[in-house]
Chains A and B, each alone.
Chain A
């Protein structure tokens, strides 16, 4: 019986093709927005999670100030004294200090400003490699004893930064000093990391006249120790050394898991806002369905009267109209999924081409769960939008409906 109603609903929708398509378009736009936005942000989340998994949950990073932003802003409240203290905390396997500076880089009469990172090849390059996720592509890595040698990010090996491709053994100037390029890195997947320059820690210290100031301290926790507990211990040690109260710290200690969580929660907020906006367009689409269904009920009052005369109960009539409006939603949802996926792919390609985020950052993620729930939801939106028109249809008095001209 329900099958009959579906077949009748489809024929009724086809009877007024243009109106049906226009109504479907309303839902299509909303679903397109939802599918593309969710799949892109899901993809972003998946990529971020994967990157964090790669670097491992046994890392702790100590930033000056409130966190990463303050480090980027050049705040330096950390020093080599702190590094020494951190190394004494039980559970700390390796700890290393880094210098983060924006530096002037010259090559072939061309000049750029970029991140210059001083890393210690001796005291824990292993951690830095993990955290920065860098891998040598051409040439070799920094070694103990290297002086004016440098490792360059992926984009230096392309024509992206300078007009000419840089190869190992080329010479570049950093902050006016000449450095020999000894290695180039593989693509990491985000613009910033892929245009960073690495130089030996001691040279960076000298070059930027940093004294014993550090941009950040990276820690690897020993096997068998809980990262969160070690991080807490580090925080406590530094606080006691600085004679600071809880909440007054001028530094912050974050585990990789915490950083991931803060990324995820920011992403969740963005996702929520975006989906909320998309939901408004879906609401408008739903109102479109309601409008179409009301018109449809008015046009078919006589038909409703006839159906009632030949034995249709109120429930039969309302079901017919509900299925019709549900189908409007479902078809809109179906096409919306297709265009949403297409749009997400286009965004993915566009972002990859522009290189703003790098290819890794934006791989739209389409879970079957998302698609099925979107389809179910769009059918549901259709049904809900058709509810009042369907009730109106069912409530028609058969005598009046038969007389209706």
Chain B
């Protein structure tokens, strides 16, 4: 089958630093691939190669069956890119930004203007269309940025950490847009530092670390490996830590971690474990100030997969 995009054994070095150490990524048409990894894992480098901005030192990458190096010009007609930082022009208005991109994509000026108006309306930016982008809020910029990468109706769109720096409400906005894109049959590559985000959007998740894919699968498969959810307990009285730890460990059947003083976390397989922990804590009269069930953080995913934390890598 022809993958919407496909990368095989990509290697990229900067001097002595190896950004990519042989990475494989692929997605079927209309699928959302989530690339999950900490800062410096090589996410952006991989995206830049797939977007024809960088040449790989080894390996190959193709979009719609076209090689990103040999057929770069054709590939550029198939892709849309939204970088980690807003790649729109601050001094221009929203309309001017989109019309310019339309013209660069060989649309006639009248068509470019119509397309710009259509996208601005679709992204709720019609009112701000005539204002300079520097007056936009962070969320508006992201929306314009996303609109800009859709002017050419791309088959494949790369979203490099599209929600980094956005508040939770704005993050939901971006998620809605990504889902709308996938519904329209666009293939999406999304990089993120949040398992929650990859879980919410991606059909397949590739976890990368030090320029290598260390896990690959559906969100369900990944969660089965790393423990679907994490229970966090903070006893009101630190004297109860050991007792609480014993209960949590017994129910989860896993080793308990203490990421911060007075806090216990443990991966669990389902909601039932959480309910049981709540009941047992109540029975033993252990009061808590904090008790929650959540998806594991990227750090916890990494700890499970690699045995080390992400922060050590970043340093």
- Does B associate with A? no
> Which A residues lie at the B interface, using CB under 8 A?
none
